[in-house]
């Protein structure tokens, strides 16, 4: 009987000893072990991501010619729209450069755009993040802003040799200063506690009392440019209502984030350019 009891409790005792040893290890050894483990598993994660893209490619090969022709027509219309937008953007950039020279204003911070595929998504109640297939090999720095067509995705939290971890804007550990579109006063935004399959949301705090937002008249929340991470004017989400805070001096509310955050396949990292 004692032998069988020993056999039953041995796995738990071994696990307890391993946990105790891990807790007693110095922080430097823990960090090195964690980083080494991630670097060893990163090629597997990237290979799985490439295999998923290859699977999608061969599934598209099964489409009929009529479907491909229709998709080509839609793509041609989209390309024409983008070409017009590029021309307008070039004209606006030239006008900005002319005004900067006329008024002797300092040039705005410039970024280069590094597009990256999403390799893995990790969503939980404590953090929401994605892994992208570019890292130090493409010069991506920590804290670089990450965007997509719908606005802010998040910021780079950690950079590895060939991958990088992006903390999503819906993560409860991410905070930034935003402004209501049309207003210049900064307010506090923080990611919320989002469930796995629920629409992503954030929390808005310290909103002035004179700002009026209702479900019939929602307003967009954009980045303020404060903090030195996100450039101003990037879309964060939509605010549909505000409630009076407990202190009676400010309002608070919920920010509805873009529902595509949980299904992104490609994002753009804004890599700051070195000052000349």
Residue boundaries of the structural domains of the chain: 2-60, 114-276
pLDDT value, residue 134: 94
**C-alpha dist (Å) from residue 269 to 74, 94, 112, 229:** 27, 24, 8, 12
Which residues in the chain come in under a pLDDT of 70?
1-13, 15-40, 105-109, 125, 196, 275-276
CA dihedral (47, 139, 39, 20) positive or negative:
negative
Q: Classify 186 in phi/psi space as left (phi over 0), alpha (psi -120 to 50) or beta.
A: beta
pLDDT at 30: 56
Q: How far is CA 258 from CA 170, 225, 231, in A?
A: 10, 20, 19
Contact by Cβ (8 Å): 187, 177: yes
pLDDT the model gives residue 136 = 93
Rounded Cα distance between 140 and 268, Å, is 11
| Helix H or strand E segment including 180 | strand 175-180
155 close to 144: Cβ distance less than 8 angstroms:
yes
Count CB-CB contacts under 10 A for residue 167.
21
Write down the pLDDT at residue 107: 66
Structure tokens at 30: 């823990």
Task: Identify the sign of the CA torsion 243, 248, 220, 231.
Answer: negative
Distance CA 154, CA 137 (A): 20
Give pLDDT, residue 276: 43
> Residues 122, 123, 129, 130: is their CA dihedral positive or negative?
positive
Q: What is the tens place of the pLDDT at every residue in 118-164?
A: 998 888 767 789 999 999 999 999 999 999 989 999 999 999 989 99
Question: pTM value?
Answer: 0.75
Core vs surface per residue 54-90: b (16+ CB within 10 A) or e: eeeeeeeeeeeeeeeeeeeeeeeeeeeeeeeeeeeee
What homologous superfamily is domain 114-276 in, according to CATH?
Answer: Rod shape-determining protein MreC, domain 1 (2.40.10.340)
What's the CA gap between 162 and 139, in Å, rounded?
10
3-state DSSP: the chain helix, strand, coil percent, rounded to 5?
A: 40, 30, 30
Tell me the C-alpha to C-alpha distance, in Å, between residue 85 and each of 82, 146, 236. 5, 21, 22
pLDDT, position 229: 87
């Amino acid at each position: 009987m004692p032998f069988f009891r020993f056999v039953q409790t041995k796995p738990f005792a071994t696990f307890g000893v391993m946990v105790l040893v891990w807790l007693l290890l110095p922080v430097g050894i823990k960090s090195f072990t964690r980083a080494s483990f991630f670097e060893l598993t990163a090629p597997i994660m990237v290979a799985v991501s490439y295999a998923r893209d290859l699977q999608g490619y061969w599934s598209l090969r099964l489409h009929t010619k009529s479907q491909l022709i229709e998709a080509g027509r839609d793509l041609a219309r989209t390309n024409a729209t983008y070409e017009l937008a590029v021309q307008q953007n070039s004209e606006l950039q030239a006008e900005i450069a002319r005004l900067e020279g006329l008024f002797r204003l300092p040039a705005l911070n410039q970024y280069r755009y590094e597009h990256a595929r999403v390799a893995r998504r990790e969503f939980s109640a404590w953090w929401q993040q994605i892994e992208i297939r570019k890292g130090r090999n493409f010069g991506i720095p920590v804290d670089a802003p990450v965007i997509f067509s719908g606005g802010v995705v998040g910021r780079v939290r950690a950079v590895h040799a060939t991958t990088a971890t992006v903390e999503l804007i819906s993560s409860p550990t991410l905070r930034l200063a935003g402004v209501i579109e049309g207003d210049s006063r900064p307010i506090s935004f923080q990611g919320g506690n989002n469930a796995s399959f629920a629409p992503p949301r954030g929390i808005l705090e310290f909103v002035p009392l004179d700002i009026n937002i209702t479900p019939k008249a929602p307003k967009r929340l954009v980045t303020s440019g404060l903090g030195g991470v996100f450039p101003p004017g990037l879309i964060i989400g939509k605010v549909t209502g505000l409630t009076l805070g407990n202190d009676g001096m400010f309002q608070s509310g919920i920010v509805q984030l873009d529902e595509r955050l949980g299904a992104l396949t490609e994002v753009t990292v804004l890599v700051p350019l070195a000052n000349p």
